Amino acid sequence: MVMVTDLFERPIRDLRISVTDRCNFRCIYCMPREVFGPDHRFLPREQLLTFSEIATLARVFVARGVQKVRLTGGEPLLRKGMERLVEMLAAIAGVDDLTLTTNGSLLARKAQSLVDAGLDRVTVSLDAMDDETFMAMNDVGFPVAVVLEAIEVASACGLGPVKVNCVVQRGINEHAILDMARHFKGSGHIVRFIEYMDVGSTNGWRLDQVVPAAEIVAAIHKVFPLEPVPPNYPGEVANRFRYRDGSGEIGVIASVTQPFCGSCTRARISAEGMLYTCLFASSGTSLRDVMRTGGDVARVLDEVWEKREDRYSEDRSAHTPRLVVPVEMSYIGG
Ligand code: SAM
Ligand code: SF4
Ligand code: SF4
């Protein structure tokens, strides 16, 4: 294995691959329809990485110590033939944890074939338990029940325990905190409440729209007493808590109030093959162009990673007001 570390001694451990910048939802915090409207130009097909290009890149990352690979988007299940990509990635020796993040809209019908192809787990996003709030947040009128069914089907197919991502926005879905905790307590699924982040430039993020993780934990603890659980592994992004009555656990991802850049070992590849070394990066490196011109991807990756000094969340105060425009969440995939 080739060991490469960045300027803060962080190795590359996780790889997130976005397979499309398209989505069938218009979540208000991610792809607001005023910006991602009918005139929005998504990437043309020839600019997307092919499955074999994705597998080639994954092998280079695995040779540098990556064990966890997450497929994301946009909505990854919109990309045709995802089972084939999953099969190709699952076949790479060294990929120990192959996961996918989805909005759940197409998951129920694809879960079994994804398991058969070698997918290990899924994360499903769900921001509320009531249709009124959820439909307003996904902004396409998509109902809660379909996502809940997808979670159950995925779990029954062996993709569990399912992690359920809930982005909390002040004044929009704070009530979902207790609703979600109540619904998933005892189900075996793990809800992860995510602080609303200032990713991209289109969601009009304001600090006062963030519900701090500590407040989320306190609200649940008041009704369903919780206690902290040590991380599963060093650098785990979610802070874990379990219900004192033994009925499961929750996680909170406090990227705004308790940044975790010091242990950030994630690399991200966009659907068109740009390498980003931070979720908040404003520029990346086209590994696709390196591949398509016969260049040495491994060398370029090592050069980029060795110079990496990202710690955006820890530096957030210094970045306000913004001097640079970061890339969008729907493009980089979270
Ligand atoms: N479409 C898939 C989905 O929604 O699960 C995968 C891509 S989505 C960009 C990945 C995750 O990022 C989702 O759980 C979503 O809720 C989260 N997300 C998007 N915008 C965010 C923001 N501004 N702050 C925090 N999380 C965000
Ligand atoms: Fe689509 Fe996921 Fe973004 Fe919602 S969060 S708009 S489902 S990419
Ligand atoms: Fe990693 Fe950048 Fe997030 Fe910090 S801000 S944890 S460096 S992705």
Evaluate: CB of 173 within 6 angstroms of ligand 1.
Answer: no
The per-residue pLDDT for 204 is: 76
Q: What percent of the chain has pLDDT over 90?
A: 84
* For residue 322, pLDDT beyond 50: no
Task: Please name the fold of domain 14-332.
Answer: TIM Barrel (3.20.20)
* For residue 243, pLDDT beyond 60: yes
* For residue 111, pLDDT beyond 50: yes
Between the CA of 300 and the centroid of ligand 2 the distance, in Å, is: 30
Ligand nearest to the CA of 31: 2
d(CA 207, CA 163): 26
Q: Pick from 265, 306, 293, 297: which is nearest to 55 by CA?
A: 297
Ligand nearest to the CA of 140: 2
Query: In 21-130, where does DSSP find H-type helix?
Result: 51-62, 82-90, 107-117
Between the CA of 263 and the centroid of ligand 3 the distance, in Å, is: 9
Task: Give the gyration radius of the chain's Cα atoms.
Answer: 19
The per-residue pLDDT for 232 is: 85
- 220-233 tens-digit pLDDT: 999 999 999 998 88
The per-residue pLDDT for 312 is: 87
* For residue 325, pLDDT beyond 60: no
Question: Is pLDDT larger for residue 332 or for residue 259?
Answer: 259
Q: Which residues line ligand 3 (CB under 6 A)?
A: 259-261, 264, 266, 278-280, 310-313
Instruction: List the domain boundaries for the chain.
Output: 14-332
Element (H, E) at 223: helix 213-223
Mutate to test the pocket of ligand 2, among 25, 164, 199, 270 (most ligand atoms within 8 A of CB): 25
For the beta sheet containing 266-269, the strands, ordered from the edge strand earlier in sequence to the opposite edge, are 226-229, 239-243, 249-253, 190-195, 163-168, 121-125, 97-102, 68-72, 14-18, 266-269, 274-276, 285-286
- Beta-carbon count within 10 A of 282 CB: 14
* For residue 323, pLDDT beyond 50: no
> Among the atoms of ligand 3, which is closest to the Cα of residue 279?
8
The per-residue pLDDT for 117 is: 98
* For residue 324, pLDDT beyond 50: no
* For residue 321, pLDDT beyond 80: no
d(CA 161, CA 155): 6
What's the whole-model pTM score? 0.94
Atom 5 in ligand 1: which residue has the minimum CA distance?
Answer: 102
- Beta-carbon count within 10 A of 81 CB: 9
Burial (CB < 10 A; 0-12, 13-18, 19+), residue 154, is buried
* For residue 298, pLDDT beyond 90: yes
Question: Is pLDDT larger for residue 318 or for residue 245?
Answer: 245
